[in-house]
């Protein structure tokens, strides 16, 4: 769903923008300011703020948190060089171990799409949003008729002022490498659980995954990746096959004719 981004007021400097935005967001989020961290190059960096929901119920993660980097954009000359520097900074921040938080998604405020309004830009801004989203960069922006919003991949709203927790009910804020979450422990226990092998009691703790289940895991992973459903996860956890919403019933994975993953 396409959502229109609204321009922010004019600010004399970035400090004024930070004060205004965090005050606006205070009813819903607790903000830790100037959070230090160590980049994967061992360089020490500082993030403008880390935000945590005041009410984390409804979020997919047990302890949801995300970084925000503020930048004055679209109220002065802001060319492609400024944009690419901003994008590179946000990408660096997603590869930083923030003190007390670890790695985080980073949201730019305003939207990094703010300088690129108008149809004459074509598909370029949408492609940039999708690409940056794959690297853990999103937008904290004002949306028409919805107020503040956390947007990823250009069109997906994790949370908005009007809707509250939206796609963050299903999507984790755990950082990703490739298509896999690097911090599955942050996920809330809302997945559907199926005990492989019938409705009987679970096997004793420490029992090994059967070859049948291993094949099902492999096939499901193949199917999900080929359909682009990278927000669905499947893994073996405490002798239970765990899979998220949006997939097929697990029993179909071993039906005759199912194409196995390679």
Tell me the pLDDT tens digit for each residue of 103-145: 999 999 987 776 666 565 555 667 777 888 888 999 999 998 8
Are residues 205 and 101 both part of a single domain?
no
Q: Domain check: are 164 and 62 in the same one? A: yes
Task: Look up residue 40 and give its two tokens.
Answer: 């994967």
pTM for this one? Answer: 0.66
Q: Are residues 117 and 92 in the same domain?
A: yes
pLDDT digits (tens, 9 = 90+) for 7-51: 888 899 999 999 999 999 999 999 999 999 999 999 999 999 999
Residues found in the chain: 262
pLDDT at res. 251? 52
How far apart, in Å, are the Cα atoms of 94 and each of 51, 106, 133, 152, 228?
15, 6, 11, 14, 23
Query: What are the structure tokens assigned to 108, written together?
Result: 């730019």
Number of domains into which the chain is organized: 2
51 and 147 share one domain? yes
pLDDT band at 186 (very low <50, low <70, confident <90, very high): very low
Residues 215, 132 share a domain: no
Q: Clarify whether residues 171 and 249 are in a common domain.
A: no
- Both 93 and 142 in one domain: the answer is yes
Q: Residue 26 CB: number of other CB atoms within 10 A?
A: 11
* Same domain, yes or no: 119 and 70: yes
Domain hosting 226: range is 191-254
Instruction: Please check whether residue 113 lies inside any domain of the structure.
Output: yes
């Amino acid at each position: 769903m396409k959502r229109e981004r609204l321009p922010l007021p004019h600010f004399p400097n970035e400090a004024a923008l930070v004060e205004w935005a965090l005050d606006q967001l205070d009813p819903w989020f607790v903000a830790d300011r100037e959070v230090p961290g160590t980049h994967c190059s061992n360089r020490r960096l500082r993030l403008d703020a880390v935000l945590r929901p005041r009410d984390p119920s409804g979020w997919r993660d047990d302890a949801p948190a995300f970084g925000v980097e503020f930048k004055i954009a679209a109220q002065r000359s802001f060319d492609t060089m400024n944009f690419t520097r901003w994008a590179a900074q946000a990408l660096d921040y997603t590869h930083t171990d923030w003190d007390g938080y670890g790695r985080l998604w980073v949201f730019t405020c305003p939207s990094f799409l703010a300088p690129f309004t108008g149809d004459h830009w074509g598909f370029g801004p949408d492609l940039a949003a999708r690409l940056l989203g794959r690297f853990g960069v999103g937008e904290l922006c004002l949306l028409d008729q919805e107020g503040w919003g956390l947007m990823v991949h250009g069109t997906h709203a994790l949370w908005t002022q009007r809707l509250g927790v939206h796609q963050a009910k299903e999507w984790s804020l755990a950082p990703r490498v490739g298509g896999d979450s690097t911090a599955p422990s942050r996920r809330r226990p809302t997945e559907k659980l199926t005990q492989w092998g019938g409705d009987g009691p679970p096997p004793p703790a420490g029992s090994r995954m059967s070859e049948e289940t291993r094949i099902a895991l492999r096939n499901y992973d193949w199917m999900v990746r080929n359909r682009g459903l990278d927000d669905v996860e499947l893994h073996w956890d405490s002798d239970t096959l765990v899979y998220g919403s949006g997939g097929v019933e697990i029993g179909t994975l071993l039906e005759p004719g199912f194409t196995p993953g390679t």
